[in-house]
Structures are given as structure tokens and as C-alpha cells.
């Protein structure tokens, strides 16, 4: 009986030692993944920006900062649940000197057929398509020259609350 218990203890000890080696492998994997993420952040020629809009007509950021000449990929997520015909959201980066109120009225007049972008986008640097709840869209563009630019949602009535500054350094 003592031999059987000793044999069982020895087997348990061997099994538990094997588990520790697996944990070391997992930890090493985490370290490798972390260094890869750091390498991606060092690329100053491009930048990824995330922006979210909700059913309360709010963007999660009121300011976005990038560097002049960077390739910007902006991803807009509509985190709400309402349909785009009721609570649609987009990201519209306006050219300098564009009056938000005038642009918004023109966007409303342009309507859904123009995706709420008036005059073929003549006052727009970049924009996403209109999104409904749960949808995501991205737009990639070159950051303009240094300065402060306005960004809005051009869905009718939204620009009063859904706006911010796009600052290029």
C-alpha cells in the first residue's frame, strides 16, 4: 500500500512540474506580443484614430490631434442601436473657413441621396459614410497643414452637439 501511495505522489509531482513549464511558455508569448505592439506605435508616418458616436448625439472625443503630413485612418463606430434613418452618424472634416451652421443647412438640403454631404463635398477634407447603430466605417486621408479644423456629424440637427476640433501639429 505504501508503494502505491508513493507511486501516486511521484506521478502527481511529475504532472505538476509539467504545468509550470507551460506557464513559462505563455509568459514568453506575452512578452513577444507586447514588443510587436510597441513597434507599430513607432511609425510616425501614419496614425489610427478611433471615434465613436452614440444614440445621445455625442462623439466620445471632442479633440483629435495628429501631425501634418501623416496618413490618418479614422475609424468611426456607431455604438448606439438606432437605425441610420433616425440617428445616423458620420465623421466630416471641414476645410478651413467653413461655417458649420451654413454647411449643416446645406447638408440637410442635400439629403439622404447625397449621404448628407452637400455640393459634392467641396467644403470637406474627408468624411465617412453615414452609419446606423452597430456599424463601423473608416476613411484614410493625408493630414492637412498645421492648424485647427472642425469635425462634425452632418446628419440633420446633429452638428450642434456632435462636433470637435481636429488639431494638426
The enclosing domain of 88 has a CATH number of: 2.60.40.420
Q: What is the pTM of this model?
A: 0.74
For residue 27, what pLDDT band results from cuts at 50, 70 and 90? very low
Let me know whether 58 and 16 are in one domain: no
Q: Work out the percent of the chain whose per-residue pLDDT is above 70.
A: 75
β-partners of residue 19 are: none
**pLDDT at residue 22 above 60?**
no
Task: Specify the pLDDT at position 34.
Answer: 39
**If you average pLDDT over every residue of the chain, what do you get?**
83
In sign, the C-alpha dihedral spanning 24, 30, 33, 39 is negative
Per-residue pLDDT of 48-84, as tens digits, reads: 999 999 999 999 999 999 999 999 999 999 999 999 9
Q: Count helices and strands (H / E) in the chain.
A: 3, 8
Q: Residue written as cell 458616436? A: 53
Task: Specify the pLDDT at position 44.
Answer: 83
Between 127 and 42, name the one with better pLDDT: 127
**pLDDT at residue 149 above 80?**
yes
Nearest-CA neighbor of 152 among 49, 64, 46? 64
Let me know whether 154 and 120 are in one domain: yes
Domain that holds residue 12: 1-42
Let me know whether 38 and 50 are in one domain: no
Per-residue pLDDT of 97-124, as tens digits, reads: 999 999 999 999 999 999 999 999 999 9
β-partners of residue 149 are: 166
Let me know whether 50 and 97 are in one domain: yes
Other C-beta atoms closer than 10 Å to the C-beta of 101 total 9
Nearest-CA neighbor of 155 among 57, 69, 34? 57
- Domain count for the chain, please give it: 2
Following DSSP, what letter does each residue of 90-124 receive, concatenated?
--EEEPTT--HHHHHHHHHHH-GGGTT-GGGGTTE
Q: How far apart are CA 144 and CA 36, in angstroms?
A: 29
Amino acid at each position: 500500500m505504501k508503494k502505491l501511495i508513493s507511486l501516486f505522489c511521484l506521478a502527481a509531482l511529475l504532472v505538476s512540474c509539467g504545468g509550470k513549464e507551460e506557464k513559462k511558455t505563455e509568459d514568453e508569448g506575452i512578452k513577444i506580443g507586447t514588443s510587436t505592439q510597441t513597434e507599430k506605435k513607432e511609425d510616425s508616418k501614419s496614425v489610427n484614430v478611433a471615434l465613436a458616436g452614440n444614440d445621445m448625439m455625442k462623439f466620445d472625443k471632442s479633440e483629435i490631434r495628429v501631425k501634418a503630413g501623416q496618413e490618418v485612418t479614422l475609424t468611426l463606430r456607431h455604438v448606439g442601436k438606432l437605425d441610420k434613418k433616425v440617428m445616423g452618424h458620420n465623421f466630416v472634416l471641414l476645410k478651413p473657413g467653413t461655417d458649420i451652421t451654413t454647411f449643416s443647412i446645406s447638408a440637410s438640403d442635400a439629403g439622404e441621396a447625397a449621404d448628407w454631404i452637400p455640393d459634392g463635398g467641396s467644403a470637406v477634407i474627408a468624411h465617412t459614410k453615414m452609419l446606423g447603430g452597430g456599424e463601423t466605417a473608416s476613411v484614410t486621408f493625408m493630414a492637412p497643414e498645421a492648424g485647427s479644423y472642425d469635425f462634425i456629424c452632418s446628419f440633420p440637427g446633429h452638428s450642434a452637439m456632435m462636433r470637435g476640433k481636429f488639431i494638426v501639429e
